[in-house]
Every structure is written in C-alpha cells, then in structure tokens.
Structure 1
Amino acid sequence: MKKFWGDFHTNMHKNHMDDFDQWVDFAKTMVDFWGPVYYPYRGIPVCEGFRAEGLEPIEETLDAWKVVNDKSQRDDFIIYPSYEWQGNGADGDHNVFFSEFDEDIYLPNTYAELCDILSNKNAIALPHHPGYKPGHRGKNWETHNEKVSPVVEIYSSHGSSEASDADIPLNVHMHMGPRGEEGTVYWALKQGVKTGIIASGDNHKYPAIAGNGYFAVYCEEYDRNAILEAMRNRHTYGVTRSKMDVHFDVNGAIMGSEINAQANNVANIRVEGTNAIKAIEVVRNGICEHTYNYHPIRTLPEAGTVKFKFELELGWGPDRRLFKDICEKWWDVRIHTEGKFHSFQPLWTSPGSDVELLDEQTLTGRIITRKEDDGNGKLSQKNYLTPYIQNQSVIIEIEDDIDNDVVFEIDELSYRIPVRKLLTQSILEAKEEQVAKLLKESFDFDSYYREDPWWHNAYKFVIHKASLDSKYTVEEQYDLGDLERDTDNLMIKVIQYNGDIAWTSPVYINK
C-alpha cells in the first residue's frame, strides 16, 4: 500500500475566501490532500450586551460554501469540500467531508440527525478535540456512529485528547477546557468503541501548520474515493509535528483492521523516526500494557560512514513590544556535506519558505520566520508549544564519514561543524552583531550591566543534536498472549526524544 499525508482541519471563515488559492499553494507544499473546513459560526448577540457562538446568517454560509466547492475542484491536488458541524453542542464538534462536489451544507441540531443525512452520501463526519467535557463540545461516545465517524482527531492545535493524564495538555482554548475523562480517545477504547486515529491542525490562519498535527493514510492509490475509503477502514495514524514513518500490524493486518484471533497473535512494529526514539507504548483496550524504552547514545563509532538526522530551527528575534514594525526575517541557508543528503522534511509554520537539493552534497534554502506581538488565539502556530512565534525548521538526513565536517552557511556567516559534534550536542548561535546595531540605531543603547537586551532581541538558530539511524529506526514484535475480552483493540504510541509523538489506529481482534 502507498502512504499519503493530509490535514483535515483548516477552519476557513467567510473572510478567508479570497485567500483560498494561496492556502492551496501552501497546503500543497506540506501534505498530499487537504480539507478546507468552512466554519459557519460566529459570535451573535443573544441579549443586550452579551454574545454567544452560533450560526451565521444562512445566506453568508451558502455563499462561502459555494466558493469552497468551486475552489476544491482541481486536477493537481485532492481537496475535500468540508465544513464544521457543532449542532447543540451535546455530542461534540464534528467536521464533515464530502468526496463529491456541490453537496448541500447540512446543519441539523443533533448528531443523530446529521448521521441520518450523511449515511446515504459519500461523506464522513470526524470528531475533534473530543477530550473536552461531553455535552460541552467534547465527544459523546455513547451516541457515536462508527460508520459515519470512522476516525477521531486525537491531537490538534488545541492539544491532546489521548487521555485525561496525557503528557501533552489540552489547554490552548481555556474557555472550552479543562480536559475531562469521558471524551478522551483512550476512554472510548476502554468502552469498546471502534475508532481510528488521526491528527490535524484546527488552524484558523493557514493549512497544514507544522506542530498542529498531520495524519497518514495507507491506501492503494492517490484517488479521492480511495483515500476516503481507507479512512473508513481506519488505515490511519496521526503525528503531532514531524512525519514519522510508522508501520503497525497484527498478524499482517494493518492498523485499523478488524480480524479474527489466531492461535498466536503477534504485533509487528516498524518505525523510522525523525529524531531518536525514546519509547514505544503498546496500548490494549485504552491502557498501556507494555513500553519499549530506548536509551540515548553513549558511544560513537570509532570510524567509518554514518547516517544521521538533525533539525535546523531558525527564528526568535526582536521583542515586538519594543520593535513593533519588525515582524519577520528572511534567512539564506546553504548546507554542504562531503557525503550525501538522503532526505529533508520541511516543517513550515507559515507560507513563503523553500528548500531544495542542488545536488547530493548541497542543500539551499530561503526561509522566512515570523513573530507576532500578542497572544492572538488564531495565530498560525496556535498550540501548546509556541503560541506567539512562527519559527521554521527543516529535518535533514545525511550520510557521511564520522570524521568529516558539515558546513552551514547561515546568512553572511559560515560554520564548519564536525559530524562527531553534531552527534553529541546541539549548536546554538545568535546574530549578536545585528541586534547590537539595531539597539544602537533605535535607542542609542550600547551598554548595560547584563546581556539580556541583546540576547532577548537577537535572531537565533539551533542545530538540534543529531541522531544516528540506529536510534531513529526501530523494529519490534509483540506477542499479545490471551485476549482480555471478546474484541480487543491494540495500538501503539511512538515518543521521540524531541517530544514528537505518533499514534496509530488500533487493530481490532475478535476471539
């Protein structure tokens, strides 16, 4: 089977319709298919002096919905016309996706009514941020329809709905929180609910923002109906940020499958991460029952060729409270190795950046980083990690002799860094001369008893510590033993040392 990446949660408002083409261009750089989820809600007056979220005038919704349908009809990129449904809030928010074009937009008051409508259409309705309190925009699993809603969004810019004690919080939208128990994904699996797993952005500014979630689909071909059918079969997994390559099956049946138990039932796990893998949790019926722990490298090879990955992250910069007009910076990047590049993966948080391989030994890029001056909840990188800045990153894989150097040319400066050093530590550099000049020109400021004014306002970049391929590539086999109930569900969670996480859809095993 082939694998394709998607983002099924970019909230488009009426005022975004003119930006549709630009959003498509950015989505195409980050994912293979996209769902531009129209958001037909706004704050409306319900009594004098008080507003609450509710449906916008239907005329405005229909006008925008026509744009979404028209703009989604492309030959070069798969786009699913989609919209957000909230109803009366009792059953949780769901995003509706159509494979066909020119469908009507349906806004009934209850989830049951929505399922009745969609059951006769080539469409799905996927719950998101389920971890909030059921009845208050969290997912009500008691009314769940697994045919209409085959997968659930475990992670987005809101945070994690994995479990009430998950390591990633669900705290960006404090008015909807805090996270409860009965809406979470692991709670549903404990109750025997059948659902697959994805992650997606819930962005309100750009699609496919790194750090807000992507998901992968395993299917036979790049076709809109094939992808939607694979999602109905739950052949999916979600990631928080970087696109790990994850394979998980039980007795050869891939993630999302429903199978009958055999005499011996074995789960096969293969992961190629983007950073050293810290742990893989095996989760049965919503409870972690085994953890594979992996330890950081302590000794390097004495000599020879090594393959490794590292992340180059650029950004930070002047405090917008002091420098209100400085909101972005262009970086010129050139990286040269005496070995060869194997791959690179951009993790853009806003449009405009580009990297390319000139040849096997040289990578170049022109990258833009941005910084806002307030905590606007709808910023492009609205998540629990960095709500105010839009740093940019690239994950790079190189094969080279361990005794060679990698040359980084960042703007006007050059850094020659030994491969051995990359494998043992991160490298942090600041553009101190630039910020010194800026402070002098702006405020005639050039001395202070501490370094804060310069460091706090300097653009910086980090070459994060590299990982050997033996640390980001893992294969395991797990013997399930006896089943616990008539139908067990088994999934894995992958945790990297850089904090990136992946969750697979469960395999369902019947006695």
Structure 2
Amino acid sequence: MKYKILWTDMHSNLHHEVIKELPQWAEQIRKTMDFWPFAYYPYYMKKDDSGLGVEDRYPLDDIQKDWDYIRAFTDKINGEGFPMFMGYEWQGAGKDGDHNVFFKDNKQQMEYPLRYEDLVEVYKNVDAIGIPHHLAYQEGHRGKNWNTQNDKFSPFVEIYSSHGSSENDNGPLEMNRHIHMGPRTGVTCVERGWEKGHRFGVIAAGDNHSCPAVYGFGYCAVLSKSNSKDDIWDAFINKRVYGVSKDRIELDYTLDGVSMGSSVKENKNAKLKLNVKGSNAIDRIEIIEDNIVTEMIPHTSTWERNELKGKIRFKFQLELGWGPDRRIFPDIESRKWSGSLHTQGKLISIEKCWSTFGQDLKNVTDSSCDFDITTYKTTASGKWMGPSAVTTEGFIFEIEDDIDSSVKLIIDGIEYELKIRDILYTSQLIPLLDEVSSLLKDRFNFEEYYRSDSWWHNCYKIKINQAVPKDAYTRSVEKEIDTTTCSQVRVRIWQKNGSVAWSSPIFIDKE
C-alpha cells in the first residue's frame, strides 16, 4: 500500500509556568507540521531543604489544572480538524530512562510511578505509547534501561534529538549539547536494544522547550493512510515511522514488498526497493544489517557531470540572519524581514526551515510566494534548552525552469536577481553593509578603519546556498540481499550538508 508521509515534532515540551503559551505553540505547529503529539513537561527545579536545586514534579493540583486545560485545548483543535495528541513526559526515578507518554484519545490521566514496568502496567488497557528519548546517556542516570523495555508500549524510540544521536557511541553526531547529562555511552544506545532482540522503530524529535519544530533538532515522519488520528495511531503501533536530523528527506523503503517497521520471512534473494528524495544533494546511502553497514552506495560523483540544459528542476536554500554582535549592540535582539520569491517557471515545493516564532509563508502560487521572517542573534526565549546562540531562518525552494532563466528575490524592498546557472555553480552571500555602516556611524560616529571587521561582523546577511539539480537529490535503489543471515535491515541516508535520515528496520522472521 502507498502511504502518505506526514511530518511532526514529536517532542515539544511546554512547562507549567508557561502553559498559557500552548495556543502559540499550536499555531507554530499548524504552520509547519501535519499533526502534533504534544508532551507536557510537569517538572521544575525546586529548592531542597538543603538549599540545593533539584528537579521534581510541580504540585499535583497545579499540573492537574494544566492537564485539564490541555485536554480542553486538544478537544478544540481536534474539532477544527487538526490531529493533535495529548501527552506528557515521564521520568520516574531516572533508572529506566525518560519517556514521553502519548494517548490516542483525550480522556486519560497522567500517572507518575517511579519505574517503567509500573508505567506499562498502569496503561496496559489503554491506547497509550511511551517513547524513550536521549537513550544513550548512562543507565540509571536517565539513559535507557533495555532490560525493562516493552516493545508494545514503546514501539519506537528517538534515535536523534537536540541532545544528539543515540544510535551508537561511535557515530559523528555526538551528544555534547547538554553536557551536564553526558557523555553518551554504548551500553544504552539504540543499537544495543536491537542486539538484545527488541523490535522497535526509530524517529527523530526535537526535545524542544522554547519553540516547537526547531530546524536541525530532528523531525518525525509517519507513513499513514491519511491524516486522521486513527490512521496516525495505526502507523505508530506498527512502527511505520522514521527520523531525520534536519531536512525533510522523503523515504520509500520496502523489503519483499513490506514497509519499514514490518516483519518479513527470511529470503536469500530478498528484494530491497528504496526511493529517496532529499532536500539537498545526497551523499550516500547505507544498507545496514544487524547494525553493520553491509553496503555503502555513493551518490556523490554519480550526477555532477550530467549536462544541464533547457528546463531543469532544482532546489536551493535561502537563509536570513546573522547581524550585530550583542556584546556591542545588546538592544538589537532580533530583526523582521519581509520578502517574496518569483520565478518565470514553476514553484514546485517550499520546505520551511524555522527555529523560532515569528515566521509566516503566504500567498503561495505556482510562480511566487510572500514571506515574513524574524531572526534572532540569541535564543528565542533565553532558555538553556533553546536553539543555538545564532539562528537563521529560511526556506528550501524547489523550482522548475530553464537553466538560462533567473529567480527574483525581493527582501525588504530590494530586488536580487539570482541567475540559475550562477546558483547552481556556487553559493552567494549578500551582506547588508549599507545598513551596518549607518548603524556604526549613528551609534559611534565610526566611519573608517584599516580592516573591515567592524562592518562585516555586525552586518545582517542573506545566504543563497548552492542549488542542486534533481539528479542530485533523488535516487532509487533496487537490489537483492540475503536476509537469512540477519535479523533486521534498515537504511541510513546522508546528505552532503550533513543532514541524515534513519529508517525504521524491517525485521526478519526466521523459518
């Protein structure tokens, strides 16, 4: 069966003290994603009797009021036709790892047993799932305890988030952002769970506490029959899910006709089929059997010499941001941009690469779109769980047009002509030097110096990333593999810009 790919951030944590921001969060999700499993965060740092700050639950009366508010809000959003699921983060005693618990309906209550096995028992007769995250931290200290894993209750896990990658302990996407919880270990990583015989899928999800759906913190893709809650839940419990670290790489992966997350009988001549559509140039495709890369299929070097002429399809990323140094200009926290894109050809798709509130895409036609963007030179909220110190915002545009044509970009009233041949050749950087010259003159009467740092380091910039043709971001693979020698097969896709996609495995049933 052909499924739709639906996207979401499956780890958005909103805290008690800011729960009234839920409508703003939902609005952001509805702009960027197809559905939303929301995970309420009922914890805070309180002062112990000793004076030490320790994390614990808020008073039960307070978080019950929040839960009732979330229930009413979720009912409202569902009534408007948007699939939202209620959920909360469960941490227990920290000995089994952190899990986000989600419910199919909006009738359940939050429970707080100290151990994972008791959590499973509490919800054994309920349509509920508990999804572990940041698994590769130390066991007993908020890392995953594979000895208590229940594959029915936890049908998939977070392989990547803002914390980094929990896939293994020797991969390149390290878990060093939240240094107080690290370092990661190999004992609790995702691969150890499969090696213990567990059958679960994988997603990526943000662990976002300042804004949902932060670009680069991970997204979850679900293969669903439709966007109804029933069909999305069916995809959940059957592990038809996968994860991406940043860009929305589309995967269609089957083995002997079954989709990822499913099981299939062993076969010496199993037929693997894979169709990939990336957002940037694909670097390589890895076929992984029992956590061993058994084949690495290069895509780099397969398309670069293909002649491009006439009408072509291509993608490029627009980034807006950078700007004045906050140490020098502490009052300049953000900037609002207004722009539009126009093509003489056809605007095929637009991918939103957003990390903060204040973004909008509107008036989209077959040949143009308008947008409003807000960029920050600091985290959006100042929270330690927020995005990095400098965030850019933008889009990935897919266009079909003649290679000798051009794209018109208008930003804050200034028109920029982007010749398609030029942006296919290399990236372009547009510094707003006139603006910063006026700023430096007005604030410091500073007009000349023997080097350009004061202007360059403080100016806003527009980056047109190098465009890539369709041959670069699409690839199909059909091959036979012997599944009698392994228990599961999955694929991992790497783009040249570092973005990754992890499929859920297809599991092999032995005779």
Deviation per CA, 1:69-119, whole angstroms, max 9, x where unpaired? 111112221111111101111110000001111311100010010011112
Instruction: Tell me, yes or no, if structure 1 residue 371 matches structure 2 residue 393.
Output: no
How far apart are 1:194 and its partner, in Å? 0.9
Q: TM-score, normalised by structure 1?
A: 0.95
Q: Which of 83, 89, 95 is the equivalent residue of 1:78?
A: 83
1:320 corresponds in structure 2 to 326
Instruction: Tell me, yes or no, if structure 1 residue 158 matches structure 2 residue 163.
Output: yes
Q: Which of 252, 271, 275 is the equivalent residue of 1:266?
A: 271
How far apart are 1:229 and its partner, in Å? 2.1
How far apart are 1:494 and its partner, in Å? 0.8
Q: TM-score, normalised by structure 2?
A: 0.95
Runs of 4+ aligned structure 1 residues displaced above 3 Å come to 296-300, 356-359, 373-380
Which shows bigger deviation, 149-158 or 215-224?
A: 215-224
1:197 corresponds in structure 2 to 202
8 Å CA contact 2:276–2:474 kept in 1: the answer is yes
Q: 1:17 to 1:374 in 2, by over 3 A?
A: closer
Q: Which of 147, 153, 165 is the equivalent residue of 1:148?
A: 153
Q: Which of 318, 342, 348 is the equivalent residue of 2:348?
A: 342
2:111 corresponds in structure 1 to 106
How far apart are 1:362 and its partner, in Å? 2.2
The share of aligned pairs that are identical, in percent, is 36
Secondary structure of the 2:485 match is: coil
How far apart are 1:376 and its partner, in Å? 4.5
Deviation per CA, 1:330-384, whole angstroms, max 9, x where unpaired? 2222222222111111111112222245532223222111222799553542xxx
| 1-structure distance, mates of 2:411, 2:306 | 27
Q: Which of 318, 334, 352 is the equivalent residue of 2:358?
A: 352
| 1-structure distance, mates of 2:398, 2:380 | 35
How far apart are 1:233 and its partner, in Å? 0.6
How far apart are 1:300 and its partner, in Å? 5.5
* Amino acid in structure 2 at the alignment position of 1:507: I
Which shows bigger deviation, 289-298 or 1-10?
A: 289-298
| 1-structure distance, mates of 2:485, 2:66 | 49
RMSD: 1.7
* Amino acid in structure 1 at the alignment position of 2:345: G
2:396 corresponds in structure 1 to 395
Q: Which of 37, 40, 50 is the equivalent residue of 2:39?
A: 37
1:210 corresponds in structure 2 to 215
8 Å CA contact 1:187–1:286 kept in 2: the answer is no
1:5 corresponds in structure 2 to 7
Q: 1:416 to 1:300 in 2, by over 3 A?
A: farther
Q: Which runs of 5+ in 1 are unaligned?
A: 382-386
1:289 corresponds in structure 2 to 294
For this pair of structures, how many residues does the alignment match? 504
Secondary structure of the 1:389 match is: coil
2:25 corresponds in structure 1 to 23
How far apart are 1:50 and its partner, in Å? 1.3
8 Å CA contact 1:349–1:390 kept in 2: the answer is yes
8 Å CA contact 1:106–1:114 kept in 2: the answer is yes
Secondary structure of the 2:12 match is: strand
| 1-structure distance, mates of 2:385, 2:59 | 25
8 Å CA contact 2:377–2:390 kept in 1: the answer is yes
Instruction: Tell me, yes or no, if structure 1 residue 428 matches structure 2 residue 429.
Output: yes
Deviation per CA, 1:32-73, whole angstroms, max 9, x where unpaired? 111221111112233423122122221222121111111111
2:494 corresponds in structure 1 to 495
8 Å CA contact 1:380–1:390 kept in 2: the answer is no
Instruction: Tell me, yes or no, if structure 1 residue 95 matches structure 2 residue 96.
Output: no
| 2-structure distance, mates of 1:262, 1:113 | 39
| 2-structure distance, mates of 1:71, 1:240 | 29
Secondary structure of the 1:390 match is: coil
8 Å CA contact 2:268–2:481 kept in 1: the answer is no
* Amino acid in structure 2 at the alignment position of 1:191: K
8 Å CA contact 1:186–1:287 kept in 2: the answer is no
Deviation per CA, 1:468-491, whole angstroms, max 9, x where unpaired? 101101000232215225xx1111
8 Å CA contact 2:356–2:380 kept in 1: the answer is no
8 Å CA contact 1:265–1:480 kept in 2: the answer is yes
1:55 corresponds in structure 2 to 57
Q: Which runs of 5+ in 2 are unaligned?
A: none
1:451 corresponds in structure 2 to 452
| 2-structure distance, mates of 1:128, 1:208 | 16
